[in-house]
Structure 1
Amino acid sequence: MDVDGIAKASGSGDLFIGGRWRPAADGRTYPVSDPATGTVIREVSAAGPADSAAAVDAAAEALDGWRSTAPRRRSEILHDMFAAMRDHAGELARLITLENGKALRDARAEVFYAAEFFRWFAEEAVRIGSSFGDAPAGGFRHLVRRQPVGVTAFVTPWNFPAAMATRKIAPALAAGCPVVLKPAPDTPLTALAVAGLLAEVGLPDGVCNVLPTDRAAEVADVWFRDDRVRKFSFTGSTATGRVLLRQAADHVVNVTMELGGNAPFIVCPDADVDAAVRGAMDAKMRGGGEVCIAANRFYVHEDVAEEFTAKFGAAMASVHIGAGLDEGVTLGPMVNEAAVTKIQGLVDDALDKGAKIAAQGPTPEGPGWYFPATVLTDVPDDAEMLHTEVFGPVAPIVTYRDEDEMLARANDSEHGLASYVYSGSLSRGLRISDRLEAGMVGLNRGLISDPAAPFGGVKQSGLGREGGREGIDAFLETKYIAVDWPNIP
């Protein structure tokens, strides 16, 4: 399937409800643009409240059949989806780059990462266990069952249009739950293509429904008011997460929240500086820095600060920036004009407060929403970029001398999603990792995401975990049955 084939499979931008492509009930559409040029790729149907309700109807109708499907059969469909995504990795990667802008190499990596969630949860589908045991007082037995939570609703972001969808869809399907998904308005085409592939591999109608829209609040409000929706999972900003949590609380809906991050990247005095630079490029520049677990603040010990800054600055300045589909590009455009405006505002704020540009790459001429790879030094503590997600290719460096003081600064954030530590001493690295207030730590690694590991944060970075053995738990309810079992003489 080429890009045109995916466009056909995704119903030319229509909604996917109950196994069929359909326009929005009121005929509304909105444009999806290529960040590299600003030109419109396609008009996409914009779901409204009626479509949101129709998707829940379709999912609820499919619930009994899907949750009673044998785990082995659910597993086989997920395995087939894993294979289908890998078979079409090239086409899917091009589609991601077209609507998201990221470099094609990053888009390819995302497709393979996204596909792995189907393989991992295909294997977990057949491991959903029950337990049986004696009551300590005698006279009856305990039977504990794990059952699907029911209809699930998802809202996913634009920065990983495939992986953020599959990280939620795969465990829900493995558990026996049908889903309704609202992808980000900037990047709906990849999610529609995923839905098309799931239909091709035999997923029953109504089990996966996808609703692109530019009216997110209207769509989500319907879900929160429908008692049939028993699980809601959101990946996005902490500010939006707070609003959705309030709505979920009003209706006591089970939630998983993967929210914002402000990851510190710590370089200890005994670190292998070359390895730290490679890790910094991975942690900062994957996806152009538009990643919730991207390194956001660099705390570098003064003994190695000069060497690290010089080598890291050289690596950042040499990044090949351009349209994501162009050969050799490693930094594509930002997702939209608003993203560039926000990043520039954070840089200007830091410069006004005394920071200096230590290194900066070029910016392409012509159209597109580009921001150059940038390293800042002498960044003061009151610079806004140290206290909010940059979500772009900008790396502020702060030097430190005392470990305790550095950790206090690293933990001085409402967020606690990811952190990174480079040290030549395992004991030092583990000591710092233990003291960091974060749900995930990369110790001498700049890439930490793995479908087989639990992904999530602490503090205001979210609730719950996705991926790993924990990932399927979010879609299961525990039922206890007391079985009368009189003592037999």
Structure 2
Amino acid sequence: MIDASPKPMYINGEWVFAEGGATFDVINPADQSTVASIANGAKPEIERAVQAANAAFREWSALAPKDRGRILLGIQELMEERRDELARLVTLENGKPFEEAKKEVQFSLGYFGWFAEEARRMSGEWVASPQPSKRYWVLHQPIGPVAAVTPWNFPATMVTRKIAPALAAGCSVVLKPASATPLTALAIAQITRDAGLPAGVFNVLTTNRSRLVGTELLTHPLIRKIGFTGSTDVGKGIMETAARSIKRLSFELGGNAPFIIFDDADLKAAVEGSVAMKFLRVGGQSCICANRIYVQRGIAERFLPAFVEAVKKLKVASGFEPGAQIGPLINEDTRAKVHSLVQDAVARGARLVSGGHYLTDGPYKNGFFYAPAVLLDVTDDMAIAQEEIFGPAAPLLLFDTEEEVIRRANATKFGLAAYFYTK
């Protein structure tokens, strides 16, 4: 187990605590036990991290791309060696099954290998000019220190997806991981240090003071770009904040992914695919999870009972329980939101045919567990079909024609992902 001593954040190659010793707790969502107490950064730590990133940027951006790539490959190698250790942290703080966490870490380390090679390919280009005696030369250069804000649903992948391309390009980074899952980010910071990444190039600012991050980090004049993955509403707020200092942005926001099953689909493949994309990615807590499952009427009579039966067989358990397929939700607010969407749909005429209730007995007693829900007779105007569910609830909707389902699938303010099964 993790020792009980408070854990520092990582700034300028050093492990530092917040002024005054402020901390916040990281909770295991499977039993609400305290996994660790983490340094709770504030304005002084934000300033220190940004200044460290700015100072380190000069030398890091001047380093030859092949040399930056060599360090990234070293990070990848160490992540591979420590895969199970990282996966254990993911499960402890996020709750997802350990086997799923190991797959996440394995996938996440690949970003360092990919962008280590991409670093060599950052070249300029000559562009034709309307004047025969002139040509334009476009030279790509690292933009400067960047701020990265990552969510809790993929504590390893979201960190590496943000920092690997930034480091490869020659940028320095101040990372603010989700306060629910900072331990994985801190472990990755240790790996970057062990792999020889210079001090200040990568900094991990741990804090649960979200408003302070918005007013101090994301508006800091030395931060040149912001990378953010999270909800659309929060993304809008960050965009408004960043506009005041004209910062570049890279966002991945909310989704409402349709999953479409046509009459000619392979039934077994469609059932397996829809169950996997609805329930087996952090228990549905992913922006690219299937949110609305559209089933053509010709296959509905065979698909619906097969889907319900498959969902009933899913094992909901603590992430370290052998065979666990769905762990707890991240916190009570998330569980309550999922349940409210299910209840609203039932109140408006949907039929709940499986799950859809809190799991509170026995091994579920202290965790944020929820029985995977399947709802039939759902209509497009129900909240569960309009909002991002972010949990283990599957609304099924029938359709007749391809043109109809495309129109209905696109009738959302979200984008991001879509799936279909057909021959």
Short-chain TM bin: over 0.9
Amino acid corresponding to residue 410 of structure 1 in structure 2: A
Q: Does 1:86 align with 2:85?
A: no
1:320 corresponds to: 315
Q: Does 1:393 align with 2:405?
A: no
Q: Does 1:263 align with 2:262?
A: no
Amino acid corresponding to residue 390 of structure 2 in structure 1: F
Residues 145/354 of structure 1: CA separation in 2 closer, same or farther (3 Å cut)? same
1:252 corresponds to: 246
2:403 corresponds to: 404
CA distance in 2, matches of 1:306, 1:83: 50
1:187 corresponds to: 181
CA distance in 2, matches of 1:25, 1:216: 17
1:294 corresponds to: 289
Q: Does 1:169 align with 2:163?
A: yes
CA distance in 2, matches of 1:349, 1:179: 43
1:431 corresponds to: none
CA distance in 1, matches of 2:62, 2:244: 30
Structure 1, unmatched stretches of 5+, are: 425-489
CA distance in 1, matches of 2:22, 2:208: 10
- Residue correspondence of structure 1 range 124-163 to structure 2 within 5 A: 124-132=118-126, 135=129, 137-163=131-157
1:14 corresponds to: 8
Q: Does 1:63 align with 2:57?
A: yes
CA distance in 2, matches of 1:281, 1:151: 41
CA-based RMSD of the aligned residues comes to 1.6
Query: 1:218: how far off?
Result: 0.5
Q: Is the 8 A contact 1:317 1:361 kept in 2?
A: no
CA distance in 2, matches of 1:336, 1:361: 17
Query: 1:314: how far off?
Result: 1.1
Query: 1:280: how far off?
Result: 0.8
CA distance in 1, matches of 2:127, 2:286: 45
CA distances 1:42-81 after superposition (whole Å, capped 9, x unpaired): 1111111111111000000001100011101111111111
Q: Is the 8 A contact 1:322 1:364 kept in 2?
A: no
Query: 1:383: how far off?
Result: 1.5
1:121 corresponds to: 115
Residues 54/271 of structure 1: CA separation in 2 closer, same or farther (3 Å cut)? same
Q: Does 1:206 align with 2:200?
A: yes
1:437 corresponds to: none
SS at structure 1 position matched to 2:370 = coil
Amino acid corresponding to residue 303 of structure 2 in structure 1: F
Amino acid corresponding to residue 195 of structure 1 in structure 2: A
Amino acid corresponding to residue 99 of structure 1 in structure 2: E
Query: 1:407: how far off?
Result: 1.6
Query: 1:364: how far off?
Result: 5.9
1:378 corresponds to: 377
Amino acid corresponding to residue 286 of structure 2 in structure 1: V
Q: Does 1:228 align with 2:227?
A: no
Structure 2, unmatched stretches of 5+, are: none
Amino acid corresponding to residue 61 of structure 2 in structure 1: R
Q: Is the 8 A contact 1:317 1:374 kept in 2?
A: no
1:417 corresponds to: 416
Q: 11-20 or 380-389, which moves further after superposition?
A: 11-20
Query: 1:361: how far off?
Result: 8.5
Q: Is the 8 A contact 2:356 2:370 kept in 1?
A: no
- Residue correspondence of structure 1 range 99-110 to structure 2 within 5 A: 99-110=93-104
Q: TM-score, normalised by structure 1?
A: 0.83
Q: Is the 8 A contact 2:147 2:218 kept in 1?
A: no
SS at structure 1 position matched to 2:398 = strand
1:272 corresponds to: 266
Query: 1:133: how far off?
Result: 6.1
Q: TM-score, normalised by structure 2?
A: 0.96
Query: 1:357: how far off?
Result: 1.7
CA distance in 2, matches of 1:144, 1:257: 25
SS at structure 2 position matched to 1:143 = strand
Residues 412/136 of structure 1: CA separation in 2 closer, same or farther (3 Å cut)? closer
Count of aligned pairs between the two proteins = 418
2:233 corresponds to: 239
CA distance in 2, matches of 1:70, 1:91: 32
Residues 387/133 of structure 1: CA separation in 2 closer, same or farther (3 Å cut)? closer
CA distance in 1, matches of 2:133, 2:405: 59
SS at structure 1 position matched to 2:20 = coil
* Identity %, equivalent residues: 42
